[in-house]
Amino acid sequence: MSPLLSLKGVDKSFGALKVADQITFDLPAGQALGIIGPNGAGKSTLFNLIGGALTPTAGTVQFDGRDVTALPASARCHLGAARSFQIPHPFVGMTVFENLLVASSFGNAGHRDQRAACKEILERTGLIHRANRPAGTLTLLERKRLELSRALATGPRLLMLDEIAGGLTEGECLALVDTIKAIRDSGVTIIWIEHIVHALLAVVERLIVIDFGKIVAEGDPKAVMADPLVQEIYMGISVDDAAA
């Protein structure tokens, strides 16, 4: 069975600075993949390469068996690849429901009943009671949920989450994790970049660690987090420190 997403030898350089270096991995449909790494490791660049905001210097990006390397983000969204952004930027003058209708009209939603679909999404993400509120009046947690809801309204098969738990309290984070688990369990393929590792590990089945634009570890999340190299890169724990 072909993977839903496949990256082969993806490079990205800005002049002499290489920010993605031979990134290669496959993502099967229905899997939840986590990506971690220190600040500046190239995680957001990778998302931009997958989503179409950036074009690779070399290598290929395939989505559902189709080469999308040169396709812009809008075309990839129509094919079923959607993302949230670390800093939410809703249409603040529109209501929450109107924000979803815009996303539903643009994305991969097909011929479904858009209003009914948007209502169902708001129920899933806990925003139905805010449906008629202007998006500009929402709290941070509600804006994060709206960012997630707008991505879902496009009808994605692949959902990319960019540090969606950042800035939330512990209780808010746990509630968001439950929502993301339900999305995963519904069959949507997920890639999640996150610094709040315990939230990430509660959802993902596989973990990739990036440092200086390269994949340095990949596999079972618990095994990856126990890797001494990962502990040194990501948490600053050297082998000598661990032994002490």
Residue 67 and residue 180 share a domain: yes
- Provide the pLDDT for residue 167: 86
> Is there a single domain that holds both residue 105 and residue 177?
no
Q: Kindly report the CA angle at 32 between 123 and 67, in degrees rounded to 5?
A: 105
**Same domain (yes/no): 36, 138:** no
Q: Are residues 164 and 151 in the same domain?
A: no
Q: Residue 61's domain is classified under what CATH number?
A: 3.40.50.300
Give the end of a domain, one of 156, 178, 195: 156
- 138, 156, 174 — which closes off a domain? 156
9 lies in the same domain as 72: yes
pLDDT of residue 2: 77
CA dihedral of 179, 181, 183, 186, whole degrees rounded to 10: -140
Domain containing 19: what range?
5-80+157-243
- Alpha-carbon separation of residue 169 from 119, 139, 146, 174 (angstroms): 26, 12, 17, 9
* Same domain for 178 and 76: yes
Q: Do 193 and 224 share a domain, yes or no?
A: yes
**Number of CB atoms found within 10 A of residue 241's CB:** 12
Q: In total, how many domains does the chain have? A: 2
The residue from 124, 156, 188 where one domain ends is 156
Query: Three-class SS string for the chain?
Result: CCCCEEEEEEEEEECCEEEEEEEEEEECCCCEEEEECCCCCCHHHHHHHHHCCCCCCEEEEEECCEECCCCCHHHHHHHCEEECCCCCCCCCCCEHHHHHHHHHHHCCCCCCCHHHHHHHHHHHCCCHHHCCCEHHHCCHHHHHHHHHHHHHHCCCCEEEEECCCCCCCHHHHHHHHHHHHHHHHCCCEEEEECCCHHHHHCCCCEEEEEECCEEEEEECHHHHHHCHHHHHHHHCCCHHHHHC
Q: Which amino acid is at 138?
A: L
pTM attached to this predicted model: 0.91
Q: Are residues 35 and 120 in the same domain?
A: no
> From the first residue on, what is the mean pLDDT of each consecutive set of 10 residues in the chain (244 residues)?
92 94 97 94 94 96 96 94 92 96 79 84 95 95 94 95 90 92 95 94 96 96 94 70 50
**Does residue 18 contact residue 11 with C-beta atoms inside 8 Å?**
yes
Q: Are residues 147 and 161 in the same domain?
A: no
Q: Residue 86 and residue 73: Cα distance in Å, rounded?
A: 17
pLDDT of amino acid 105:
87
What's the pLDDT score for residue 86?
A: 87
One domain, residues 233 and 166: yes
Residues 60 and 169 in one domain: yes
On whether both 76 and 170 belong to a single domain, the answer is yes
Work out whether strand 158-162 and strand 189-193 pair parallel, antiparallel, or are unpaired.
parallel
Which phi-psi region, left, alpha or beta, contains residue 8 (left: φ > 0; alpha: ψ -120 to 50)? beta
